Amino acid sequence: MLEENIRECGLYDRLGPSRDMISSIFTSVNKFVRHDAEGDIIKYSRVFGKPKDFVEEIARNIERMDGPFRDKVWIYMRWMVRPKPDLRIFDHFSPENLNVPLTGNMARVAACLGLIDSVEPSLWEDENKAVKARERITCFAKQLFPRDPAKVDYPFFLLGRWLKGRDLNINTLKEALRFFAHLQKVTGHPHSFYQSISRYKSGWEEKTANVLRKMKIPYSYELIRFPLPGGISYTPDFIINKSKQGRKILLEPHYELTEKDAHKFSLFKQTYGHEFLLILLLKNDYIPYFRARNLLTDDLCDDVWPIEFVHVLAEKIRTGAYDP
């Protein structure tokens, strides 16, 4: 019954390659809580002296929580042990004894700092390598926050997302930090990523997503909200995991183009233009109309493409032939 309900979920096809295992994972979680923890996970956690001991117990008993997935348990432990903005439910554990989760984003920052040599999947497949990498990162974090090393987890997560696809060295890290500091100075807000699963708001967005999936071009949909001067923000529709001349490519399918939209896109280009390349996708017949109304100006975006030919654009991006 659970498996049938999961499959009927409208977002099932977007849950990733391991979605068929969801029901069995839920079953192992329920079995652990009911039988081992006797229905009270908080009370059961008090049997263990340190977070590491409880991590080992969870990894032994819950499916896909051991081996290369061990860091998911450390993420969970961070939520449950650290104080606000985390939950601090396992209040008998000390944050001082937490390990920093070895996620892909964390590994990129660690590589820039020279703490580890590789961010390849083999790092997680070799348990000894993963343990050593996690220990090095945690040791570094303790130099910053001796009583709360996992405090670095979220800011390093944000930084690691930004470093994806870049050369991982100390100079790249410095450039990213200077860029974040500049953004906060310009906008008055710290730079933040917001992860969410969103439904496509239009048929054009869905068409764009289908083309990208068909061509196996990795992308994120409405993943990041960018603060802009004047207290407004912009959430791009598609961030492509491809770069052109060092700038990540954004695709923005748009039916209407208002003065408010034009102002927002222009501010985005002024503020983030050296990091992102914004391509506006419009209905072919509307492009001359928007130009005649002086809405589609050169400072608005980097390129404009007819939405009807998004497959041509995607192919050029996929092969590296795209040239704005």
Give the pLDDT confidence of 292-301 residue by residue, as tens digits: 888 888 889 9
Residue 164, φ and ψ in degrees, nearest 5 = -60, 130
Give the pLDDT confidence of 96-121 residue by residue, as tens digits: 999 999 999 999 999 999 999 989 98
What is the reported pLDDT for 195?
Answer: 47
What is the reported pLDDT for 197?
Answer: 45
What is the reported pLDDT for 219?
Answer: 84
Segments of the chain with pLDDT less than 50 = 194-197
The pLDDT mean for the chain works out to: 88
Please tell me whether the peptide bond between 85 and the residue prior to it is cis, using omega within 30 degrees of 0. yes
Give the count of alpha carbons within 13 A of 16, CB side only: 5
Domain assignments of the chain as residue spans, ordered by start: 2-163, 203-319
Distances (CA, A) of 22 to 17, 62, 199, 278: 11, 12, 21, 36
Give the pLDDT confidence of 23-80 residue by residue, as tens digits: 888 899 999 999 999 999 999 999 999 999 999 999 999 999 998 999 999 999 999 9
| Cα–chain center distance at 98 | 22
| Cα–chain center distance at 86 | 19
Report percent pLDDT > 70 for the chain: 91
What is the reported pLDDT for 23?
Answer: 85
pTM: predicted TM-score of the whole model, two decimal places: 0.70
115 secondary structure, DSSP code: S
Structural tokens at position 121 = 């999947």
Report long-range pairs for 38-45 (Cβ below 8 Å, ≥24 apart).
42/89, 42/90, 45/80, 45/90, 45/92, 45/93
**Rg of the chain in Å (alpha carbons):** 23
Tell me which architecture the domain covering 203-319 has in CATH: 3-Layer(aba) Sandwich (3.40)
